[in-house]
Amino acid sequence: MALAIPIPDEKRAAIAAALLSGSGIRAVSREFGVSVSTVSKIKNELDLGVFEEARTEIKEREQHEQKVEQLVGLEVLIGGFLSQTFKSMSAQIEATARPDYVARQRADEMANLIKVEADVAIRILEAAAAAQKIEPPK
């Protein structure tokens, strides 16, 4: 029977950390150059509650990071859409502000157009203020 070689505390701590981070016993065994049975013994010495807490924390952190990535992706899509919408709206406002366009329109249609443009501008300002938690002037 082979004699057991003591594992330095630093190495034992690194093995425990690898196990707590979710690495498998065989992967840890290969990484640290120790036997599978040694890694299993170290795992068995760990407080299983701590082990499960660490795994749960890692899973929650990964889920949070995934949600953040999804939100960032959505934010990019929304930003692109809004940018194109504002460019389109700006072009429409410029076109409808030309004197030759205004001269060809009926007064009630121009009043309606001005009301819609003003309403859109106010809604955009309100949304921007709400996003920054600023109270719009009353």
Q: Is residue 123 part of a domain?
A: no
Q: Is residue 52 part of a domain?
A: no
Number of domains forming the structure of the chain: 1
Q: Is residue 16 part of a domain?
A: yes
- Token readout for 128 is 């921007």
Q: Is residue 31 part of a domain?
A: yes
| Short-list 65, 70, 43, CA closest to 54 | 43
- The whole-angstrom separation of Cα 132 and Cα 9 is 51
- The whole-angstrom separation of Cα 127 and Cα 136 is 10
Please report, for residues 25, 65, 66, 78, 121, the alpha-carbon distance to residue 73 in angstroms, rounded to integers and kept in the order given.
Answer: 36, 12, 11, 9, 26
pTM (2 d.p.):
0.43
Q: Is residue 138 part of a domain?
A: no
Q: Is residue 42 part of a domain?
A: yes
Q: Is residue 71 part of a domain?
A: no
Contact (Cβ atoms closer than 8 angstroms) between residue 43 and residue 19: yes
Q: Is residue 1 part of a domain?
A: no
The pLDDT value given to residue 138: 62
- The three-point CA angle 73-79-85 to 5° equals 140
Domain containing 41 equals 9-46
Q: Residues 5-49: pLDDT tens digits?
A: 788 889 988 998 888 788 899 999 999 999 999 989 888 888 767
Q: Residues 57-82: pLDDT tens digits?
A: 888 888 988 888 888 888 888 888 88
